Amino acid sequence: MADDVDEREARLDRLLDEELAFDATTDSGTSSHLSMALVAAGNLGASAEELSAFSRRYAKRLSPRREGGRAVTPLTFSSALGRPGTYGAFVDHFTREIDVHGVDDVVSRTLDRLRPGIHGGAYHGVLRLAYALERPTAQRVASGLAYLAEVHRPLGAEAWKEGSRGPEEAFALLYQRREEFAVVGAEGLIGDRMVEAAASPVFVEVVDSVVINDSTLDCLHAIAVTLFAITLDFVALHGVTGVEALRRVRDRISDPRLVDREALRSLCAAYVVCGCPALPETAPTARRSVPAELARAALVSGDEHDLKIADTALKLAGRPCGPLVLEAAGRYVRGTTSPRAVADRSGDGQ
């Protein structure tokens, strides 16, 4: 058994290092989930063979990392932020920075600088970084920071007027004024639709009315999980995994409350993209779930989002929202492993 674990760990590290040769964007223009899903699968107990099979299958969607182009330097850093095609240049930049200053210093300084757009790419930048920090090497962390920089995109203006409402009140107000968000498109990348939602004056008015305190992030976790549980919506899934990724990096930022602000802003935007469904005053009662069964179902599915939501649910299992997210993740994964869902996902999938 110990030999099996050692082989799995060695295989996971090798596959993660091989992933570094690929671009962080798939051939279809979406975020590559290969590194994130590999770590998640490892956390769920995937065997060495399962890890290799997933990597081979997913790599068909990817192309080698693009080299060349304009180098990112301290002078060009700001102008390169958020520009598609800069991933390779940012990898080179952060590799040099880490060689000189070390992982912890570069991560903390970069997160402080990128915090306004830390949820860019529908959270996939911070997700990639958070998973890299679970199994950190200089190259993996440089890759995570590079993608965070490439997809950097603030949600609205940086100005913030501290209010007095709790997060629950803000979501209730967004629901009451949901008709004013009808123009938010139902098509396109999730991150683009979140930016569109955050540009609304109504959105700014509501979100800026919230006070940020020590309980904010726990409250947002509960809201994200409830939203996911009542909708099983794909965007809501990203709210759960994204807020958890923000929690995992928040203590590396000089003022963690600023990350909580971004978690609020981004989850509100995701809620609008979901259509502002009515949230219950109390969280739904969760049926008993068996974590090991959820882990195995996600591994059988082999879908990258199933792997991430199952892994996130297990990370949250000890929190007040744990029973509900375990139950909801189980329902979601069972839905994606149904014969029809598997047929719909044949080929490369998305």
Burial class (CB in 10 A: 0-12, 13-18, 19+), 345: middle
Percent of the chain with pLDDT over 90: 78
Whether residue 286 is contained in a domain is answered as no
Whether residue 349 is contained in a domain is answered as no
What stretch of H or E contains 98?
A: helix 87-101
Q: Are residues 194 and 265 in the same domain?
A: yes
Per-residue pLDDT tens for 179-208? Answer: 888 766 667 889 999 999 998 888 988 998
Q: Are residues 253 and 295 in the same domain?
A: no
How confident is the model at residue 338, as a pLDDT? 43
**DSSP 3-state helix, strand, coil percentages of the chain (rounded to 5)?**
65, 0, 35
- Lookup: tokens for 318: 């000890």
In which domain, by residue range, is 327 found? Answer: 291-344
- Lookup: tokens for 8: 């799995």
Whether residue 162 is contained in a domain is answered as no
Average pLDDT, integer, range 315-335: 94
Q: Which residue has the tokens 């149904």?
A: 338
Whether residue 338 is contained in a domain is answered as yes
How confident is the model at residue 312, as a pLDDT? 98
**217 within 8 A of 250, measured Cβ to Cβ:** yes
CA distance 268 to 333: 25
Whether residue 16 is contained in a domain is answered as yes
Q: Are residues 128 and 49 in the same domain?
A: no
Per-residue pLDDT tens for 64-118? Answer: 998 767 899 999 999 999 999 999 999 999 999 999 999 999 999 999 999 999 9
Average pLDDT, integer, range 9-36: 96
Confidence of residue 164 (pLDDT cuts 50, 70, 90): confident
Q: Looking at the 3D structure of the chain, how many domains does it have?
A: 4
What stretch of H or E contains 46?
A: none
Report the phi/psi class of residue 121: left, alpha or beta, with left for phi > 0 and alpha for psi in -120 to 50: left
**166 within 8 A of 211, measured Cβ to Cβ:** yes
Q: Are residues 187 and 264 in the same domain?
A: yes
Q: Which residues, other chains included, contact 246 with Cβ-Cβ below 8 Å and sequence gap of 6+?
A: 118, 119, 123, 126, 217, 259, 262, 263, 266
Q: Are residues 89 and 141 in the same domain?
A: yes
**Helix orientation angle between 138-150 and 103-114, rounded to the nearest 10 degrees:** 10
How confident is the model at residue 349, as a pLDDT? 33
Cβ atoms within 10 Å of 53's Cβ, excluding its own: 13
Per-residue pLDDT tens for 243-257? Answer: 999 999 999 999 999
Q: Are residues 172 and 254 in the same domain?
A: yes
Q: Are residues 176 and 237 in the same domain?
A: yes
Q: Are residues 185 and 245 in the same domain?
A: yes
Q: Return mean pLDDT, the chain.
A: 90
Question: Which among 93, 123, 150 is the end of a domain?
Answer: 150
Lowest pLDDT segment from 2-11, 120-129, 189-198, 287-296: 2-11
Q: Are residues 184 and 216 in the same domain?
A: yes
Per residue in 189-218, is it b (16+ CB within 10 Å) or e — as a string?
ebbebbbbbbebeebbebbbbbebeeebbe
Question: Which among 238, 273, 308 is the end of a domain?
Answer: 273
Question: Which among 91, 118, 150 is the end of a domain?
Answer: 150
344 vs 296, more confident: 296
- The count of residues in the chain is 350
Closest-CA residue to 304 (of 26, 35, 23): 35
What stretch of H or E contains 214?
A: none
Q: Is the pTM of this model over 0.95?
A: no
Whether residue 67 is contained in a domain is answered as no
Q: Are residues 240 and 206 in the same domain?
A: yes
Q: Are residues 172 and 268 in the same domain?
A: yes
Q: Is the predicted pLDDT of residue 3 greater than 50, yes or no?
A: yes
What stretch of H or E contains 49?
A: helix 48-59
Whether residue 200 is contained in a domain is answered as yes
Whether residue 65 is contained in a domain is answered as no
